Amino acid sequence: MRPSVFIRLLVNGEEHALAVPAQRTLLEALRYDLGLTGSKQGCDKGDCGACTVLARERAGEGRGEAILSCITLAQDAQDLAITTIEGLAGPQGLDPVQRAFADCGALQCGFCQPGMMLSARALLDDNPKPTLPQIQEALSGNLCRCTGYTKIYEAVQVAAGLRAPAQRAPVQSERAAPSDSKAQTVKEIVP
């Protein structure tokens, strides 16, 4: 058997004592040892951002900055206070970022979303009224494949109180003149 190391992790305000293989990543510890499956594994190489969590020094304040838990060793995270998506909602319910993502349709499959929302949270903690380029910069480490990012920006702006969710109405199409279209429906088929 591989040797284990004994570690302590402070996650969402709870202290955990674990024995894990030395190579255990923080993402593995969160998902497999602590059952915090909201942090996702998309690449396991630090490329996609789905595993993003927030971290600060234990003695510090706030939630800290966004880090990639798949390229952080669990044993190296012992000095950190970590916030995962499960710890983002408070006693008052969902965080405004979570609320806005749900309201704006900023999510489709939802897989990149915990990491995306945590990056957004870190941005807003640091800069409560970001410009669009600042939002784009802050989220550039989180890949989304569903949305084209448009509604994600909207959600961050809604969470920051910079705008209300969109309410554009669809456009009705006029019927085209059918006379023209019926004229040439003859088809010729040469199999």
* 111 lines the binding site for another protein (CB under 8 A): yes
d(CA 105, CA 14): 32
Choice between 57 and 66, CB closer to another protein = 66
d(CA 77, CA 51): 14
- Under rule CB under 8 A, which residues in 82-101 are in contact with another protein? 84-86, 88-89, 94, 98-99, 101
Instruction: Record the tokens describing residue 141, joined without a space.
Output: 């480490």
- Provide the minimum distance between the beta carbon of 34 and another protein in the complex, in angstroms, as a whole number: 12
* 25 lines the binding site for another protein (CB under 8 A): no
Using an 8 Å Cβ cutoff, are 31 and 85 in contact?
no
Choice between 59 and 190, CB closer to another protein = 190
- Provide the minimum distance between the beta carbon of 29 and another protein in the complex, in angstroms, as a whole number: 14
- Under rule CB under 8 A, which residues in 115-154 are in contact with another protein? 117, 135-137, 139-153
* 109 lines the binding site for another protein (CB under 8 A): yes
Q: Which DSSP letter does residue 180 get?
A: H
- Under rule CB under 8 A, which residues in 42-81 are in contact with another protein? 42-45, 47-48, 50
Using an 8 Å Cβ cutoff, are 119 and 136 in contact?
no
Q: Which of 55, 112, 122, 159 binds another protein (CB under 8 A)?
A: 112
User: What residues have CB less than 8 Å from 60, skipping those under 6 apart?
Assistant: 81
How many chain residues bind another protein (CB under 8 A)? 84
Using an 8 Å Cβ cutoff, are 132 and 140 in contact?
no
Given the structure tokens 């995270």, which residue do they identify?
A: 77
